[in-house]
């Protein structure tokens, strides 16, 4: 019986992970669950899955959950506060840790799981974007295994030899191709982007995701972050990772080898497929996803991304080439801009403008090996982004 800790169990990836566990309850069990503040949903998860421990970062929510758990007679220990995320990440009965906390908040518990030698199932791309070298070093030092959960990186993982190591360039690979759906605004006139609403940006045509990642998909920043992530995961240079728009979201990514072969992983757009693959690896278990019917789909289209429409992708490519603190600055500026857009205090087209302005303000440091330097760059970028968005320039605001 494999014990699984889920960091971020109330989010979309966490819920999908629990669904896969539910379908394979003879082989795996949820032993630790964590969330930010959603004590109601976490209580229902505790009631069904009866984990050893449940963590809520919000201490008031943790106190409410503890009362509910005791009243229901559940055997679950309840902990509160951000530091308790590390306790869940290192939980002794967890062989695998699903790192699914969105944003920079997931970095420290993800590092804790890696250092503890867990089988790290990485759905939090920001941990690699911000501190990729440090995370890869932590995985190697802990003696664990890193399996990517993003559908694109999991597809690449499945197309590579079975003995690859995180951060080590696979032999014989010429490049990898990340596929992007293009999001909800692939065909929208560029001049219309300034007027799109948060609800429109979150209405992804293929995937059901959280609001932040949905906006990143609409700007193609999600693909830019994935490009940086792929460089760290597979030991590749930025110019060895290409992005191609594939609206059907059936081919999840491809690996091109030196002999001209291109291997691709296909499947319906359902996160339970990569989750089930990673949870059962190196075996295969049911995911609950529908079977792929290529005849019914009929066609698969591919095109180059439009950089005028998606400038965030260009900024991410530049950050990947620069390295050092540049990806952390990119991520922080983007998180701030996206949150302000979701609060309807910034227009959609201004998201890349904020990122560009932050890079003009915050100095990039190269060859970083100190986590504190990365966290400092993150804080400086957030402060700079906040200052930019307070500036009374009408173009930035809705």
* Residues 118, 314: Cα–Cα separation, whole Å: 34
Q: Strands (DSSP E) along 230-305, which ranges?
A: 241-245, 251-257, 262-266
**pLDDT number for residue 130:** 85
Share of the chain above pLDDT 70, in %: 97
**C-beta of residue 232 within 8 angstroms of C-beta of residue 319:** no
Q: Are residues 7 and 107 in the same domain?
A: yes
The pLDDT, as a whole number, for residue 147 is: 96
Instruction: Say yes or no: 312 and 327 in one domain.
Output: no
> What pLDDT, on a 0 to 100 scale, did the predictor assign at position 155?
97
- Return left, alpha or beta for 323; rule: phi > 0 is left, psi -120 to 50 is alpha, else beta: left
First-to-final CA distance of the chain: 52
Residue range 13-54, pLDDT digits in tens: 999 999 999 999 999 999 999 999 999 999 999 999 999 999
Q: pLDDT tens digits, residue range 293-322?
A: 999 999 999 999 999 899 999 999 999 999
Last residue of a domain, one of 99, 125, 149: 149
Contact between 154 and 130 under an 8 Å Cβ cutoff? The reply is: no
Output 82 or 391, whichever has higher pLDDT: 82
pLDDT tens digit sequence for 322-354: 999 999 999 999 999 999 999 999 999 999 999
Q: Please, which residues bridge with residue 180 across strands?
A: 245
CA 13 to chain centre: 9
| One domain for residues 11 and 133 | yes
Q: 349 lies in a domain?
A: yes
pLDDT in tens, 87-116: 999 999 999 999 999 877 888 999 999 999
Q: What percent of the chain is helix, strand and coil (3-state, nearest 5)?
A: 50, 15, 35
pLDDT band at 213 (very low <50, low <70, confident <90, very high): confident
In sequence order, the 6+-apart residues with CB closer than 8 A to the CB of 171 are 161
Span of 169-173, 228-232, 394-398 with lowest mean pLDDT: 394-398
Q: Do 233 and 242 contact (CB within 8 A), yes or no?
A: no
At 214 the three-state DSSP class reads helix
Q: 8 by DSSP, 3-state: which?
A: coil
Whether the Cβ atoms of residue 224 and residue 351 lie closer than 8 Å to each other: no
Q: Is residue 6 part of a domain?
A: yes
Same domain, 302 and 335: no
Range of the domain at 50: 2-149
CATH, residue 81: 3.40.50.720
- Amino acid 173: pLDDT: 97
**274, part of any domain:** no
Whether pLDDT at 74 is above 90: yes
For residue 241, the model assigns a pLDDT of 97
Using alpha carbons only, what angle is made at residue 308 by residues 177 and 238, rounded to the nearest 5 degrees? 35
Query: 75 with 96: CB under 8 angstroms?
Result: no
CA angle centred on 268, ends 244 and 255, rounded to 5°: 40
Position 300 in a domain: yes
| Cα 20 to Cα 17: distance, rounded to the nearest angstrom | 5
- Same domain? For 144 and 157 the reply is no
Report pLDDT digits (tens) over 362-374.
Answer: 999 987 878 899 9
């Amino acid at each position: 019986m494999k014990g699984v800790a889920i960091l971020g169990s109330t989010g979309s990836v966490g819920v999908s992970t629990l669904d896969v566990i539910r379908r394979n309850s003879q082989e795996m069990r949820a032993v630790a669950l964590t969330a930010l503040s959603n004590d109601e949903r976490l209580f229902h998860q505790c009631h069904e899955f009866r984990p050893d421990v449940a963590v809520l970062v919000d201490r008031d929510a943790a106190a409410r959950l503890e009362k509910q758990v005791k009243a229901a007679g559940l055997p679950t220990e309840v902990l509160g506060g951000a530091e308790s995320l590390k306790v869940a990440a290192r939980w002794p009965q967890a062989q695998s840790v699903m790192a699914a906390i969105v944003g920079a908040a997931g970095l420290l518990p993800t590092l804790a799981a890696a250092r503890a030698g867990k089988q790290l199932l990485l759905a939090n791309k920001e941990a690699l974007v911000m501190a990729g070298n440090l995370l890869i070093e932590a995985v190697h030092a802990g003696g664990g295994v890193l399996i990517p959960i993003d559908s694109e990186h999991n597809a690449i993982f499945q197309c590579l030899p079975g003995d690859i190591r995180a951060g080590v360039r696979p032999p014989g690979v010429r490049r990898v191709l990340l596929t992007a759906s293009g999001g909800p605004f692939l065909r929208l006139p560029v001049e219309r982007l300034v007027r799109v609403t948060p609800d429109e940006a979150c209405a992804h045509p293929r995937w059901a995701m959280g609001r932040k990642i949905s906006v990143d998909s609409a700007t193609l920043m999600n693909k830019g972050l994935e490009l940086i992530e792929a460089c760290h995961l597979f030991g590749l240079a930025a110019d060895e990772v290409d992005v191609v728009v594939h609206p059907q979201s059936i081919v999840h990514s491809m690996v091109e080898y030196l002999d001209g072969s291109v291997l691709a992983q296909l499947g319906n757009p359902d996160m339970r497929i990569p989750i089930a693959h990673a949870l059962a690896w190196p075996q295969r278990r049911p995911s609950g996803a529908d079977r792929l019917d290529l005849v019914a789909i009929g066609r698969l289209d591919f095109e180059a991304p439009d950089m005028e429409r998606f400038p965030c992708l260009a900024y991410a490519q530049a950050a990947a080439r620069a390295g050092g603190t540049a990806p952390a600055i990119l991520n922080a500026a983007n998180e701030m801009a996206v949150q302000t857009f979701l609060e309807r205090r910034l227009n959609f087209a201004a998201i890349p403008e904020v990122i560009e302005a932050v890079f003009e303000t915050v100095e990039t440091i190269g060859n970083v090996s100190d986590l504190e330097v990365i966290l400092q760059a993150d804080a400086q970028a957030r402060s700079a982004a906040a200052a930019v968005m307070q500036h009374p320039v009408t173009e930035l605001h809705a």
